[in-house]
Structure 1
Amino acid sequence: MSIKKQIPYDEGLDNTLNLLQEGYLFIKNRVSQYQSDIFETHLLGQKVICMTGEESAKIFYDSELFYRNGATPKRVQKTLFGVGAIQSMDGEAHIHRKNLFMSLMTSSHQNQLAKLTMEKLKNSIKIWENEEQIIIFDELNEILCRVACQWAGVPLKESETKKLAKEFSSMIDAFGAVGIRHLKGRRFRTKSEEWIKDIIEKVRLGEIKAEEGTALHAMAFYRDLNGNQLDSHMAGVELINVLRPIVAISTFITFSALALHEYPECREKLLTRDSNELKMFVQEVRRYYPFTPFLGARVKKDFIWNKCEFKEGTLVLLDVYGMNHDSRIWNNPDNFLPERFRERKDNLFDFIPQGGGNPAKGHRCPGEGITIEIMKSSLDFLVNKIEYDVPNQNLNYNLSRIPTLPESKFIINNIRRKI
């Protein structure tokens, strides 16, 4: 007697249009509709299995059952990650290159970046005080671009900052887009890759000095499992994969500003500058607001789990946004409650805004600690270093848009330095 069972099937020849229309809620809506943590659908002309829940995440991050090579659509590789980058690698080669990224994202590096972010933010106050208004998202893009390049040892002229920040931001904005947004992201990725490839080549020729221990030096002289240097293009792609995610934190910081505005009762606790209070607030921002909608992998070999059959090569999507709002994992998931993290134990598979599993051996983002520390530093700045007003604006964010932001990108004015 077969143990295979019929999992819910999402009707329609292809549901890509529904995905584009529903965005972050695509999987969550169907999990609710079918009352099942697993269902089958068709996207971009192929069969796809969608999953949610902690147990699903544990399976999804089992390297014996799933691989990443070929799981990320080319359209995402050509905008967000770069073709052939670490996100699409598996096995020993992936672990070897992951160790390179991990070496750049230690607690020491996290603290350096947080300190540098605070310095740049404080330096901006004098300028902000004389501006009619400041758009938080746009300003943080540029500030974090400066931070990322200075920390990584990448030479960046002040006159180039706005342009590079725009290129990085467009790459991020394009990964879930179609049409002009997508094409714009691809064009900017090409430009950035050419720029960074030239820098890598000049470092190798000795025309640009790269200090040992910096990301620029590490990428320029990294050797793979066979002892070969990456070609200058791929070294540049991976260096962008260090810089771009730091700039992407501007999205989380914009949602932090929104949370401060929507939940002003939280501000008093943050005035203490207590690191744990800052971290709880930051973690709740990462849980509550939309960032990563879902993650993809392909089935490595046929297997049956939970009486459901997974065939080799099948694309599987894990619902990140839905898990962040799952009442089985979180009490009152639709309420913003930073205190939920006060006694919460670390779990590699139920809170995965930047991926799950072991960051050293698997595909969890190695820069998660950097994200948290930069967010804490920025939150401390917004609460304890400046005062500001929030004028009337459209603060709604559209969950059908991937990635999404408040429509106004959060505007502040009448900015004053706190004494």
Structure 2
Amino acid sequence: MSLRRLPGLLTEGYAFISRTCDNVGTDAFRVHAFGRPVTFLRGADASRLFYGGQGRFTRAGAVPTFVQHLLQDEGSVQGLDSAAHRHRKAMFRALLTSSDAGRIVDLFAEDFARAARYWAEQDRIALHSQAELLLTRTALRWAGVPLAGTSVRHRARELSAMVDWIGLVGPGNWAARLLRRRTEAWAAGLVSAVRAGELSPPGRSALAVIAGFRDDHGDLLTEEVAAVELINVLRPIVAVSRFVTFAAVALMTHPHWRETFAQGTEADLQPFVHEVRRYYPFFPAVPGRTTEPFTWQGAEFAAGELVVLDLYGTNHHRSLWELPEAFAPERFRDWDGDPHTLIPQGGGDSVTDHRCPGEPMTIALMKEAVRLLTRSVTYTVPVQDLSVPLNRGPALPREGVLLAGVQPVG
């Protein structure tokens, strides 16, 4: 395992780990940061190690404080391990994969139609910001949060900032963390109102379930932790706006797929969505800390060592994907579903590991977004820069994807 220097991480962004691996001819290398070793890994074998279910890694203490407080905050499921993690994770899986979870697609279609009527009154729109707004409305409705008395625009701003500013330090991150404090106070108020009987959301809604959830010791979550977990349901749904935006870019730059889906042909819809998730950058990497000493592929790991798994690089690894820099949904027609090769939202098993339990919902929302963008509205694409810079994360097209002359169909 090679020892490298860290500065490239700050300038190369998503490409840093893969370029370094390519340069040294290995899928693992170490750097020294702040006097301690940090190991970077990529590839399916690395994912199997990282998510192997053997208890070799913990998320506790792995994420920098400025990131944790903005994205997950303290007390969330991502900071738990072992039985406590499995128990809390089961609640999220029940919420995000039950038959009721499918209702979100219908709500999204309703909110898209509502948004399209507004878009038709504008000369042009920035799709990403509009997708954040409409997915916030969808997420709130699905979670059982009453819209009366709730500013969807304010919630959209706050939930989006948790993702938009995660890769930065300094004033931008501080401002986003202040917004999060406001969101947490709002969410804690909802939990308090449910427990006091002042608010009665649908029984199987996220708000009702989280407000009444008991941990593995039989205790209700504190209002603060319940608020964090409610946000951890809402925020990822809003973050799907990035995948929706990337799907629109793919439809624009590969118009034959737009024509295919506009005609109602759906045989390649899921392969298309998988390829959007593989090809375009979402979160670049995920950190963990070793819980015990072990040896892997000849390298020695000490307990407490920081290890970072390259999500983006694994999704573009030449040993896993033929022509990885080509956008080719056809590659997923016969894909075997290996959970350690396509890992935009983490690898491994969503039941026992830290893989995102909302992944099926993400895929369902993306498929519906493709249907709606190709069949429910017409629009023109102004001249714009659709390139995606990789030196800042989470990445987005430079201009947020502009649509002009949007008109609902029918």
Give 1:322 deviation, angstroms: 0.6
Pick one of 382, 388, 396 that aligns with 1:391. 382
Pair 1:47 & 2:37 matched: yes
Q: Is the 8 A contact 2:385 2:399 kept in 1?
A: yes
CA RMSD across the alignment: 1.4
Partner of 1:9: 3
Give 1:62 deviation, angstroms: 2.2
Q: Is the 8 A contact 1:72 1:88 kept in 2?
A: no
Stretches of structure 2 that go unaligned for 5 or more consecutive residues are none
Give 1:45 deviation, angstroms: 5.0
* Correspondences of 1:13-412 after superposition (within 5 Å): 15=6, 17-43=7-33, 45-64=35-54, 65-106=56-97, 108-157=99-148, 160-412=151-403
Aligned residue identity for 1:214: S
Q: Which moved more, 1:150-159 or 1:342-351?
A: 150-159
Pick closer, same or farther for the CA change 1:198–1:104 going to 2, 3 Å. same
Q: Scaled by the length of structure 2, what TM-score is found? A: 0.97
Q: Distance in 1 between matches of 2:267 and 2:285?
A: 28
Q: Distance in 1 between matches of 2:124 and 2:67?
A: 34
Q: Is the 8 A contact 1:173 1:181 kept in 2?
A: no
Q: Scaled by the length of structure 1, what TM-score is found? A: 0.95
Q: Distance in 2 between matches of 1:105 and 1:159?
A: 23
Q: Is the 8 A contact 2:53 2:352 kept in 1?
A: no
Partner of 1:4: none
Pick closer, same or farther for the CA change 1:229–1:309 going to 2, 3 Å. same
Pick closer, same or farther for the CA change 1:358–1:159 going to 2, 3 Å. closer
Q: Distance in 1 between matches of 2:176 and 2:21?
A: 32
Aligned residue identity for 1:49: T
Q: Which moved more, 1:92-101 or 1:355-364?
A: 355-364
- Paired residue secondary structure (1:9): strand
Q: Is the 8 A contact 2:109 2:368 kept in 1?
A: yes
Aligned residue identity for 1:381: L
Aligned residue identity for 2:4: D
Pick closer, same or farther for the CA change 1:45–1:210 going to 2, 3 Å. farther
Aligned residue identity for 1:10: R
Q: Distance in 2 between matches of 1:114 and 1:57?
A: 30
Q: Is the 8 A contact 2:66 2:169 kept in 1?
A: no
Give 1:44 deviation, angstroms: 5.2
- Paired residue secondary structure (1:244): helix
Give 1:173 deviation, angstroms: 1.1
Give deviations 1:239-284, integer Å, cap 9, x for gaps.
1000000000000101111111111121222124344422111111
Q: Indicate the percent of aligned positions where both proteins have the same amino acid.
A: 38
Q: Is the 8 A contact 1:172 1:185 kept in 2?
A: no
Give 1:67 deviation, angstroms: 1.5
Q: Distance in 2 between matches of 1:378 and 1:110?
A: 16
Pick closer, same or farther for the CA change 1:405–1:204 going to 2, 3 Å. same
- Paired residue secondary structure (1:188): helix
Kindly report structure 1 stretches of 4+ aligned residues shifted beyond 4 Å: none
Aligned residue identity for 2:139: A
Residue correspondences, number: 409
Give deviations 1:339-379, integer Å, cap 9, x for gaps.
11111111111111101111011100000001000011111
Give 1:183 deviation, angstroms: 1.2
- Paired residue secondary structure (1:295): strand
Q: Distance in 2 between matches of 1:77 and 1:212?
A: 30
Aligned residue identity for 2:357: P
Q: Is the 8 A contact 1:107 1:369 kept in 2?
A: no
Pick closer, same or farther for the CA change 1:276–1:107 going to 2, 3 Å. farther
Q: Is the 8 A contact 2:252 2:258 kept in 1?
A: no
Q: Distance in 1 between matches of 2:163 and 2:131?
A: 14
Q: Distance in 2 between matches of 1:142 and 1:158?
A: 16
